[in-house]
Amino acid sequence: MFGNFKIFLNDVKNSFNDLMPIIVVVAFFQIFIVGEMVDDLGSIVLGLVIVAVGLAIFIRGLELGIFPIGENLANEFAKKGSLFWLLFFAFMIGFSTTVAEPALIAIADKAAVISDGKIDAFFLRMTVAVSVGSAIMLGVYRIIVGHPIHYYIITGYVIVVSVTFFSPIEIVGLAYDSGGVTTSTVTVPLIAALGIGLSSSIRGRNPAIDGFGLIAFASLLPMIFVQVYGIVVYQFATGSELAPDLVQTASTAITFDFKYILMEFVSVISDVMPILLVIGFFQFIIIKKPVAHPQKIIAGMILVIIGLYAFIVGLELGLFPIGETLAKQLTTMDNNALIYLFGFLIGFSTTMAEPALIVIAYKAEEISSGKIRQNILRYTVALGVAVGIALGAYRIVVGDGIQYYILVGYLIVIVLTFFAPKYIVPIAYDSGGVTTSTVTVPLVAALGLGLAENIDGRNPLIDGFGLIAFASLFPMITVMAYGVLVEYMGKKGPKRIRD
């Protein structure tokens, strides 16, 4: 009992270490740049404590519940040898983990408002959920047949860019962002467990090379599907002119009464429930086997729900209000360099605290026997997000079209793919998806829409979306560049993992 408590305290300590960069960045800008003390400091401190504890509980729950059952299901399907049920399972996991994704719901609702109803929030969510289900199914098929991942990813990039030239300008930024908001704190661990478990069960597959990549598929296909959806909507739908004045990005006061707390908890359960139902159906109806160590699995699931709930409440209480206020304050200051600096630093700090990235980095180090160091991977990814958000903020300020930046970025990714060491490529592709999750999306979305609202000549629908896409793109570049650099310098760092 004491040993478990000691482990939990260590997890909480690590959580505080992960959150410290965000605290430092926000405090620096609030005190030295804006020059005002933040209101309700006690609530913010309490929120940060809740975030740290929630994150520790969540990570422990993943290790106890989500990872074991995800990898076990993958192993059972591999033994069963039924391609149909395995692919159907993959589709349902992708669909169920996306359809109730809070970040996707928020982005879809925002798009519906600022498009004056031309974009339907429900149909947008269904489009993205179907695309993620199809992506996971395609990614699982790739693992089964053993095809190199870059053939699929490069083909996908070509399709994304090609469709962009036919898409209405109002949908492009939203489509690019939709690829980032689909990979959530719950989605990433389960999908990663599926890929790693499947590649571990098939002879001739390497978990480090073949196990990663499913998250990259889940980030790529929504960009294609949403652009096609936009082409159909803007071709046939009728609606009034865009209404950018309807956008509301300023923080809203949150009253934490009993009813609010209960509704938030119910909301978290509803987010996780589709996943649990899918897992239960395939475990007991299709596989027809009891779960090994059921008490441990159930305890893990409960910890995931409690941890995720505490994490979200803590963010709303402690980080989101001050982050959104800062974003709005900076857009009113006559110094664009401060906007870029804030984008860089908030991108780096939020990524370091991103639970999905922490989980993926941990699994990468585990299955590579330490050849891939989780801390180095996290710093490299965080640097990519920081550069991406700073450049994305610059794009909004100067008013350039997003497609030109994304096109150049994809070309760089494609070139690096052929020079990067084989073991780093799937992890680099996945890095683009795990960076845009629970912590990053709300703050980055608030910054992008806040800039578009407060700069003359910018339209929130056309210019406000897209920062999440930048945050997804540049980590792929920095991670592969890191792999190329290590190979070139001949260091002992991450060594090649043989097939």
Question: Percent of the chain having pLDDT more than 70?
Answer: 87
Q: Is 70 exceeded by the pLDDT of residue 386?
A: yes
Identify the pLDDT of residue 242. Answer: 40
Could you report the per-residue pLDDT of 294-345, keeping only the tens digit for each?
888 888 888 888 887 887 787 777 666 666 677 677 777 778 899 899 889 9
User: Given a cut of 90, is residue 108 above it in pLDDT?
Assistant: no
Residue owning tokens 């959806």? 229
* pLDDT bracket for residue 184 (50, 70, 90): low
Q: How confident is the model at residue 163 (pLDDT cuts 50, 70, 90)?
A: very high
Is 450 a domain residue? yes
Could you list the residue range(s) of the whole structural domain that residue 149 is in?
75-289+323-488
Q: Which two tokens stand for residue 358?
A: 């922490």
User: Is residue 190, in this structure, part of any structural domain at all?
Assistant: yes
Q: What does the pLDDT read at residue 250?
A: 37
How many residues are recorded in the chain? 499
Burial of 431 (0-12, 13-18, 19+ CB in 10 A): buried
Q: Does the residue 316 lie in any domain?
A: no
Burial of 134 (0-12, 13-18, 19+ CB in 10 A): buried
**pTM for the model:** 0.74
Q: Is residue 365 a part of any domain in this protein?
A: yes
pLDDT at 434 (0 to 100): 76
* Domain annotation covers residue 172: yes
Domain count of the chain?
1
pLDDT tens string 27-72: 888 788 877 766 667 777 788 788 888 878 887 887 788 778 777 7
Residue 38 lies in a domain: no
Instruction: Provide the pLDDT confidence category of residue 415 given band limits of 50, 70 and 90.
Output: very high
Closest CA to 461 of 171, 103, 124: 171
Which region among 222-231, 387-396, 433-442 has the lowest average model confidence (pLDDT)? 433-442
Averaged pLDDT, 376-391 = 93
Give the 3-state DSSP-derived string for 126-160, with helices as H, strands as E and coil as C: HHHHHHHHHHHHHHHHHHHHCCCHHHHHHHHHHHH
Confidence bin at 496 (pLDDT 50/70/90): very low
Q: What is the pLDDT of residue 136?
A: 92
Q: What is the largest CA-CA distance in the chain?
A: 64
Q: Structure tokens of 249?
A: 């990005």
Is residue 47 situated within a structural domain?
no
Tell me if 100 sits within 8 A of 128, measured CB to CB. no
* pLDDT above 90 (res 381): yes
CA angle 210, 496, 374 (to 5 degrees): 75
* Distance in angstroms (rounded) separating the CA atoms of residues 220 and 471: 14
Q: Are 34 and 335 in contact (CB under 8 A)?
A: no
Query: Over the stretch 244-292, which tens digit does the pLDDT of each residue have?
Result: 443 343 344 445 566 767 777 887 787 778 878 888 888 888 888 887 7
> 411 and 157 in contact (C-beta within 8 Å)?
no
Q: Who wins on pLDDT, 323 or 449?
A: 449
**pLDDT for the residue numbered 456:** 81
